[in-house]
């Protein structure tokens, strides 16, 4: 089962200009769609962007991060539009314009994306998630002409790898696992879990370059500041509502 792959997988952020054939994409999308899906409803769609001008616009929505320059960008959407249209066309009365239905479609879309990511990588392609899709969902949605009940949830930048990517550290599995009930982390445990990450030369360099007191400060002050998260929260929340999924507000 490709043992090496599961231990060594890496995201790829730099790609050759060589194109990715539609035939490969279609074949792997078909296989990825065998992944589990809520009640077999397949509540997702994928928009393939190849056109250069569109890719440039889309890369701007992804803050021009290196991976967004890939030859193919896939925007994966939570999609209740297709299923709802089918229900209406058969005279049934769908009730999918709510938060729980959005959550189900979000889940479906991410399961599908990860299955596709794995298949692409196993076939030699390089991939990188662009989590920025939810930050600028409204602009992306407008660009891609998304109708009601369709919301971008993530993007995959894909292409043939121009390098081997960078190995990234992970927490020890014990740090992620709880037995029977959640065993909340003590101060000592937190120190123990994050020590290897803090000891990495590359992480020490981030701390120095940014003149911060710790690696944690790099995350809170530079990479994921609250100000941005609150602005993105508001935009995404409003866009989900605009696309027809209502939140249970009072």
Q: For residues 42-61, which are near its own copies according to CB under 8 A? A: 42, 44-51, 54
Of residues 60-89, those binding its own copies (CB under 8 A): 77, 81-83, 85-87, 89
In whole angstroms, give the CA distance from residue 216 to residue 210.
Answer: 12
**Looking at beta carbons only, is 18 or 226 nearer to its own copies?**
226
In whole angstroms, give the CA distance from residue 78 to residue 222.
Answer: 30
The CB-of-135 to its own copies minimum distance in angstroms stands at: 7
**Which residue pairs, CB below 8 angstroms and at least 24 apart, start in 4-9?**
5/121, 5/122, 8/167, 9/121
Given candidates 11, 14, 57, 65, which one binds its own copies under the rule CB under 8 A?
11
Query: Quick one: how far is CA 250 from the chain centroid?
Result: 31
Contact 125, 11 (CB under 8 A): no
Question: Is position 111 an interface residue for its own copies (rule: CB under 8 A)?
Answer: yes
Q: Which residues contact 68 (CB under 8 A, 6 or more apart)?
A: 58, 59, 62, 130, 132, 157
Question: Is position 36 an interface residue for its own copies (rule: CB under 8 A)?
Answer: yes
Stretch that binds its own copies, among 13-21, 60-68, 92-100, 157-165 (CB under 8 A): 92-100
The CB-of-113 to its own copies minimum distance in angstroms stands at: 8
Question: Is position 241 an interface residue for its own copies (rule: CB under 8 A)?
Answer: no
> 78: part of which helix (H) or strand (E)?
strand 72-79
φ/ψ of residue 144, rounded to 5: -95, 5
Stretch that binds its own copies, among 13-21, 62-70, 157-165, 232-240 (CB under 8 A): 232-240
Given candidates 19, 100, 163, 209, which one binds its own copies under the rule CB under 8 A?
100
The token pair at 31 is 């296989």
Please, what is the end-to-end C-alpha distance for the chain in angstroms? 51
**Looking at beta carbons only, is 69 or 192 nearer to its own copies?**
192
Q: Which residues contact 144 (CB under 8 A, 6 or more apart)?
A: 47, 49, 75, 152
Question: Is position 15 an interface residue for its own copies (rule: CB under 8 A)?
Answer: no
Of residues 130-149, those binding its own copies (CB under 8 A): 131, 134-135, 143-147
DSSP label of 50: -
Given candidates 181, 201, 208, 211, which one binds its own copies under the rule CB under 8 A?
181
Question: Is position 200 an interface residue for its own copies (rule: CB under 8 A)?
Answer: no
Buried b (16+ CB within 10 A) or exposed e, 113-141: bbbbbbbbbeeebbbbbbebbbbbbbbbb
Question: Is position 202 an interface residue for its own copies (rule: CB under 8 A)?
Answer: no
Question: Is position 204 an interface residue for its own copies (rule: CB under 8 A)?
Answer: no
Stretch that binds its own copies, among 13-21, 41-49, 59-67, 157-165 (CB under 8 A): 41-49
Q: Which residue has the tokens 């409803």?
A: 41
Given candidates 64, 185, 205, 210, which one binds its own copies under the rule CB under 8 A?
185
């Amino acid at each position: 089962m490709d043992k090496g792959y599961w231990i060594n997988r890496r995201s790829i952020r730099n790609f050759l200009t060589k194109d990715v054939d539609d035939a490969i994409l279609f074949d792997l999308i078909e296989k990825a769609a065998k992944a589990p899906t809520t009640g077999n409803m397949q509540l997702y769609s994928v928009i393939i962007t190849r056109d250069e001008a569109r890719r440039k616009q889309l890369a701007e929505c992804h803050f021009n991060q290196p991976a967004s320059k890939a030859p193919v960008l896939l925007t994966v959407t939570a999609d209740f539009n297709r299923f709802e249209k089918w229900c209406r066309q058969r005279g049934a009365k769908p009730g999918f314009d709510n938060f729980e239905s959005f959550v189900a479609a979000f889940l479906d879309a991410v399961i599908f994306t990860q299955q596709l990511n794995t298949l692409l990588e196993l076939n030699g392609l390089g991939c990188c998630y662009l989590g920025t899709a939810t930050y600028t969902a409204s602009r992306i949605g407008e660009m891609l002409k998304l109708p009601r009940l369709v919301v971008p949830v993530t993007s995959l930048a894909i292409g043939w790898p121009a390098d081997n990517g960078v190995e990234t550290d992970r927490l020890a599995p014990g740090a992620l696992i709880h037995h029977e009930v959640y065993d909340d982390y003590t101060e000592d445990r937190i120190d123990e879990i994050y020590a290897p990450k803090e000891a990495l030369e590359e992480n020490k360099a981030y701390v120095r370059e940014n003149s911060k007191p710790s690696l944690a400060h790099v995350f809170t002050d530079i990479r994921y500041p609250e100000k941005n998260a609150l602005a993105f929260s508001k935009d995404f929340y409003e866009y989900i509502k605009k696309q027809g999924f209502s939140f249970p507000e009072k």
